[in-house]
Amino acid sequence: MLLEAEALSGWAGATGLLLDAAAFTQQWFAFGNAEGGEHQIFQVDGTYYKRNNLAFHTSYLEYFERLLLHNWLFPDTAYTFLGLMWVPENNEPPQLRPVVSQLAFQAVRGADRSEVEAEMNRLGFTRRYEDNYVSTALNLFVDDLHDQNVLVDADGDLLIFDPVIYIVSPASD
């Protein structure tokens, strides 16, 4: 991923999308160091800002594919790509991290599995096990759709965010 990071960093610098890691980190600390399995998060004026650690990805390309797929499948909770930043981590060399924003939304509760399954079925997916869904027609696997990543708003609509989406190889006959 080092060559990919260097190429992306050059592109981000040339296009004004290389962001200040210190400013993000300061906001993140002020927000209480909120993080999940892959994001460091803070909120300002109805928008969440998320810095991804690429824990679920083997490449930057895989991450960007996931962003596009998320926005296509779940447009109500779409991400906006803001840029990239070099983030120092412990005693390791700085790592290039993507940053996105997402509008805050109002939810009344977490969705239960039957609600998530019905929505994913509507989108052409079948539940495989636990909170994971597959579409053989789309060659997609969507993971991590538990009640903290799928919420229900006041109108009863599901709000799906932070799923882990993988492109899978088609089944061979």
pLDDT of res. 92: 87
Q: What predicted TM-score, i.e. pTM, was given to this entire model?
A: 0.90
| 145 and 91 co-located in one domain | no
| 87 and 30 co-located in one domain | yes
Q: Which of 87, 103, 119 delimits the end of a domain?
A: 103
171: pLDDT strictly greater than 70: no
The domain of 137 spans: 109-167
33-85 confidence digits (pLDDT tens)? 877 778 899 999 999 999 999 988 999 999 999 999 999 999 999 999 999 99
| 99 and 30 co-located in one domain | yes
| 28 and 94 co-located in one domain | yes
pLDDT of res. 90: 82
29-38, 57-66, 83-92, 134-143: least confidently modelled range: 29-38
| 67 and 125 co-located in one domain | no
92-129 confidence digits (pLDDT tens)? 899 999 999 999 989 999 999 999 999 999 999 999 99
10: pLDDT strictly greater than 70: yes
Number of domain units in the chain: 2
Pairwise CA distance, residues 8 & 107, whole Å = 36
Quickly list DSSP for the chain: -HHHHHHHHHHHHHHT-B--HHHHHHHHHHTT-EE-SSEEEEEETTEEEEEE--TT-SSHHHHHHHHHHHHHH-GGG--EEEEEEEEEETTEEEEEEEEEEEE----SEEPPHHHHHHHHHHTT-EEEETTEEEETTTTEEEE--STTTEEE-TTS-EEE-S-EEEE-PPPP-
Residue 172 in domain = no
| 35 and 6 co-located in one domain | yes
86: pLDDT strictly greater than 90: yes
Which letter, b or e, does each residue of 79-98 get, where b requires 16 or more Cβ atoms within 10 Å of its Cβ?
Answer: beebbbbbbeeeeeeeebbb
| 155 and 93 co-located in one domain | no
